[in-house]
Amino acid sequence: MTYQDFLHAAGLGLATGLALIVAIGAQNAFVLRQGIRGEHIIPIVAVCALSDAVLIAAGVLGVGALVTAAPTAVVVLRFVGAAFLVTYGVMAAKRALTPQSLSADAAPAPGEPKRGAIALVTTMLALTWLNPHVYLDIALIGSLASAQGAALQWWFGAGAMAASLLWFCSLGFGARFLRGFFARPLSWRILDGTIAVTMVALGLGLILGR
Residue 185 scores a pLDDT above 60? yes
Write down the pLDDT at residue 63.
64
More confident: 107 or 9 = 9
Q: How far apart are CA 122 and CA 62, in angstroms?
A: 27
Cβ contact 156:60 at 8 Å: yes
Q: Is the pLDDT of residue 13 over 80?
A: yes
Q: Is the pLDDT of residue 61 over 70?
A: yes
Q: What is the pLDDT of residue 157?
A: 92
Query: What is the average pLDDT across 65-94?
Result: 73
